Chain A
Amino acid sequence: MPEIRLQSVTKIFGRKVEAVKDLSFIIEDGEYVSLIGPSGCGKTTTLRLLAGTILPTQGNIYFDNKSVENLSIRDRNIGFVFQHFAIFPHLTVWENAAYGPRVRGRKNSEIDSLVDHALKAVQIDDKAELYPPSLSAPDWQKTALARVIASEAKILLLDEPLGALDQKIREEFQVFLRNLVKKEGLTAIHVTHDQSEALTISDKVAVMNKGKLVQLGTASDLIFTPNNIFTSFFVGESDFLESVVLNDKEDFAEVRVGQSTIKVKNMGISRGRRAVVAVRREFFKVHKYEDKIKTGNFLPGVVVRDQFLGLLRRVRVKLENQQIVEVKIHAKHPIRFKENEKVRLVIDPSSTRCFEYPEEGVASALEM
């Protein structure tokens, strides 16, 4: 059961397309890790580098501290599951599962027991003799998984494995997949474009953008304590307030946003520096301007629109500095805000994040 380590891996396609840049991270033995990010962020390239279908331009990959530089895809002992299944249509489910041990020259009795175990593990043993064209998409993916398990691979690489399934089945399959991986003791790396799938299924999630690793952490790390501006932007929704740090001594730093001063989480940015305060849209509280509120930690603004969406309401507010921010509130929030109504946006300092102002500007830092 292997630990996977990437060390400064860079992959350049052609002369200058940098698909992956200086990527380093560790996936522990038995861990389920998802890779997410906008399309073209390098997540699929990373998976292919691990599989060995492409080789890094620079840097190294280690399985259990052994470099796999010279190991071809055949010798890495990995299982690869594709969005479009790649099961062999001319072989039965049983024969598909037997493919790995067969081409590795295993004895028939061993093949039988490996395949039987695999088919039972994915609950497709009742369809062993059927050919793929007569089965449905979820069964195809089960067959693909059985094939991996029978091959005794210890690393499972999943490329959008649920991408071709219907939404309802996807959700069931997420649970099924995670349980299977844990029961078989595999290390899994799962590429997906679906955030909620990644947050649900994995132990850790790696956020990537423009070929770089942005953050690797648990679901709750990414949602509640993102350590950079892109994660705050990409996972869920946040607004970004440009500010200047006034006081960096307390647990909560004081920053100036427009004309107002508010307290935010102190994340070590020194006094006088420019900062970006990230506030998740669920974490703002919006009050009528004239309401009495206990805290002074607020920004004044004017309502642009209070939009009812059933699931929730979104209140768009224009701050004094003309920035428009959005607040998500409960659909049954007692107050309906009218256009141009003056409001205060109350901010709980402990729910904020405060990042160094990016050199290239906020918009460029968020470019996907």
Chain B
Amino acid sequence: MSAGEEKPDLEVKFRRSLLASEKWLSKDTVLSAGKAVTVGIFILIVLGPILYLLFQIIVSWGDINETVFNDPILGNEAFLSMLRSIGLSFEIAAIVTVFDIVVGVPMAWILARYEFKGKSILDTMVDLPMAVPTSALGFSVYLFWGTNNGISRLYNSQVGFASQGTLLIIFAHVAFTFPYVTRSIKGIIADLDLNLEKAGKTLGAPPFTIARMISLPMVKEGLLAGTVLAFTRSLGETGATLIVSGVYQTAPVVIVSWMKGLKIPTTAFLAFILIIISLILLTFVRLFARRVGLPWNKVFPRFERKLSSKKVTRTRNTFSIALFLLFVFIPALFVIVFLFQWWGGSPFSGEFEAGMIYQVFLAPDKKINDIMTALVTSLEIALIVTIVNLLIATPMALMISKMKNNKVKGFLDGLIDIPLVIPSSALGFSIFFLWGSNGLHILSPGFAMIVIAHISFTYSYCVRPLIGSFDSISTMYDEAAAAFGASKITAFRTVTLPFLKSGLIAAAIMTFTRSMSETGATIICMGIERTIPVLLVDFFEASTFPAAAFASTILIIISFVMLILLRLVTRRKKDA
């Protein structure tokens, strides 16, 4: 450099100012402010509505007391019907969860442990019901079990196997909750150290005993988490339930219908109760999951040996797959069959006007217009929700992942799960309550309010996988970057972000899919614009089944594409 000091060129200048601003951003005070904002947004969007609801319940207890317990005409009838609906919801959720565990656990074992042709297809089949909007799923289940188009054809009956009501609700809920249990333990089972089982074997334990005494305790937490998820999803589901319930109304459906009747105080109280129940469940699981023991140290050698035999194992596996196909997969996708049955006319009368083509494309009120509008609305909402959530969830995930104080970390981590467990209609209601005319009076029901509601309940879906991604990046990269003088934000940009790519995409897909499929919260927060799952419910109520089947099929295809994308992204991550 003898030719005098050369002037730093533009690139260097830019780099230096970038580094300087990143250094400023990395200052402890600025970072703390950033953290405060992150938590602030979380509170505003997710916790705020819930807290406000709680606050209002206390403040206007007099009103509620009057409408719920001491109505001049109905007395405490409102409260009684609340209890009935909650009771029904619990009953259904309990039955559904038992099915999910009994069939889902062996299914997870099959998917994690066996190698066979078509395994990845089965794997996708198991996950699919989770991605498909529940209203489409509910409709499909209704067609399969509840009408003469479905299973009843097998025995030539003119009516469906089950009419709208409890049994049909259970069938519908089984279909969409099934993946939760399987998914939450499949990965854990696959990651279990097979050598532990080998050790158990050499010590004289048959396979069933090993699974029970060694493997199960290690998947316990995952199983419990999946169970709670399945349970709360069943407890809080609206879209499918609206279609299959008939007069038997579960609690979230009651919220929606009371909301339509503008019974605000009673709705508030019911939403409040549902939220409290979900929170108690969540707290219980988070605090006690590890401590719940499986107290069977007793071994029944002969019996367990029998259970371990190849014959029993094979029978169990066959049953699991058969039950999955009958109760989950076929009903969930039956709508596609229905669509083809009704493609160009009624399969019974042959009447062209009753067919899909006419209803959707040719009739004077051709449904394709509604479908396209609703689809665009849904896509817009999902896109906005995904972008906003990535922006607000990434700092939160980073913060939780890096947090050193385990108690605070656990607490915050638990808070993140709240939107995951509380019924979306209750959450939607509390957002309506806070932002709408009863609260801040900033928004009236419509597009913006739907977006906020969706951001709120998809928040967990975005943060969860991101926390996982951050946790999987070894701290040594950060330390290495720091040792070379990189500020925290510089290290984040240059080192962490490149590792995060697939994690971000996965989070985005999860968020997008979940937003696309929501019904309950949308109905409560919407104005005149309908999203496609809501449109489906409307089609159903108007009995335009073939049009509904067409819309459902579109939704199923979109979900399927999303699921395949998600698989590609997460698989690539594993290879790297």
A–B touch (CB < 8 A): the answer is yes
Report A's interface with B, CB cutoff 8 A: 51, 53, 72-80, 82, 84, 86-90, 99-100, 102-105, 107-109, 147, 151, 153
A88 close to B495 (CB less than 8 A): yes
The 5 closest A-B pairs by CB, nearest first: A100-B484, A90-B498, A103-B486, A86-B476, A80-B483
Pair A74/B486 contact, Cβ less than 8 Å:
yes
Q: Which of under 10, 10 to 19, 20 to 34, or 35 or more describes the interface residues of B?
A: 20 to 34
Residue among A76, A79, A86, A89 with the most chain B CB within 10 A? A86
Question: Contacts of A77 on B, CB cut-off 8 Å?
Answer: 485
A sample of 26 cross-chain residue pairs with beta-carbon separation below 8 angstroms, ordered by A number, consists of A51-B483, A53-B479, A73-B483, A74-B483, A75-B485, A78-B483, A82-B476, A86-B479, A88-B495, A99-B481, A99-B484, A99-B494, A100-B484, A102-B15, A103-B481, A103-B484, A103-B487, A104-B19, A104-B485, A105-B16, A105-B19, A105-B20, A108-B9, A108-B11, A109-B1, A151-B483
Question: Per a CB cutoff under 8 Å, which of B11, B474, B494 touches A103?
Answer: B494
Q: Are B484 and A82 in contact (CB under 8 A)?
A: no
Residues of A with C-beta under 8 A to B477:
86, 88
A84 to B15, CA, bound (A): 30
The 8 Å CB contact of B485, one of A74, A86, A87, A90, is: A74
Query: Quick check: is B326 within 8 A (CB to CB) of the other chain?
Result: no
- List, in ascending order, chain B residues with CB within 8 A of A51's CB: 479, 483
Additional A-B contacts beyond A73-B482, A104-B19 (9; CB < 8 A): A74-B483, A74-B485, A75-B485, A80-B483, A86-B476, A87-B480, A88-B477, A88-B495, A103-B485
For residue B263, give the distance in angstroms from its CB to the closest CB of chain A.
Answer: 54
Name the B residues within 8 Å of A102 (CB-CB): 15
Most buried by B among A74, A80, A104: A74
A72 to B483, CA, bound (A): 9
Q: Are A86 and B480 in contact (CB under 8 A)?
A: yes
Let me know if B485 and A79 touch, CB within 8 A.
no
How would residues 480 to 503 of chain B score, 1 for a CB under 8 Å from any chain A CB and 0 otherwise?
Answer: 111111110010001100110000
A51 to B480 alpha-carbon distance, docked (Å): 10
Q: Which residue of chain B is the closest to A104 with respect to CB atoms? A: B485
Q: Quote the shortest CB–CB distance from B499 to chain A (angstroms).
A: 8
Q: Which of B496-522 contact A (CB under 8 A)?
A: 498-499
Check A82–B480 contact: CB distance below 8 A. Answer: yes
Q: Are B481 and A109 in contact (CB under 8 A)?
A: no
Q: Which residues of B contact A (CB under 8 A)?
A: 1, 6, 8-9, 11-12, 15-16, 19-20, 474, 476-477, 479-487, 490, 494-495, 498-499, 576
Tell me the complex Cα distance, A173–B476, Å.
22
Q: Which residues of chain B come closer than 8 Å to A99, judged between CB atoms?
A: 481, 484, 486, 494
B568 to chain A, nearest CB (A): 19
Q: State which of A76, A78, A84 has its C-beta within 8 Å of the C-beta of B474.
A: A84
Q: Given the complex of chains A and B, what is the CA–CA distance between A99 and B478 in angstroms?
A: 13
A109 — which chain B residues lie within 8 A by C-beta? Answer: 1, 6
Q: How far is the CA of A184 from the CA of B20 in the complex (A)?
A: 30
The listed residue (B484, B498, B499) touching A104 by CB distance below 8 A is: B484
User: Quick one: closest B residue to A108, CB to CB?
Assistant: B12
Question: Are B479's CB and A107's CB within 8 A?
Answer: no
User: How many angstroms between the C-alpha atoms of A64 and B494 in the bound complex?
Assistant: 32
| Given A51-B483, A79-B483, A99-B484, A107 and B6 contact (CB-CB distance below 8 Å) | yes
Which residues on B sit within 8 Å (CB–CB) of A147? 480, 484
Q: Is the CB of A103 within 8 A of B483?
A: no
State the CA gap A15–B476 with chains docked (Å).
25
Cα–Cα distance between A82 and B474 once the two chains are bound (Å) = 12
Give Cα distance in the complex from A78 to B484, angstroms. Answer: 7
Using CB atoms, name the residue of chain B closest to A72.
Answer: B482
User: When chains A and B are docked, how far (Å) is the Cα of A308 from the Cα of B197?
Assistant: 39
CA distance A80 to B485 in the complex (A): 12
Q: Tell me, in angstroms, the Cα distance from A153 to B482 when the chains sit together.
A: 13
Residues in A with CB closer than 8 Å to B485 are 74-75, 77, 100, 103-104, 151
Give bound CA distance, A90 to B476, whole Å.
15
Interfacial chain A residues near B6, Cβ < 8 Å? 107, 109
Contacts of B9 in A (CB 8 A): 108
Please give the distance in Å from A98's CB to the nearest CB on chain B.
10
Bound CA span A102–B479, Å: 16
Most chain A beta carbons < 10 A, residue from B8, B11, B481, B485: B485
Tell me which of B11, B16, B474, B484 has the highest count of chain A C-beta atoms within 10 A of its own C-beta.
Answer: B484
A170 to chain B, nearest CB (A): 20
CA distance A53 to B482 in the complex (A): 9
Contact indicator A107/B8 (Cβ below 8 Å): yes
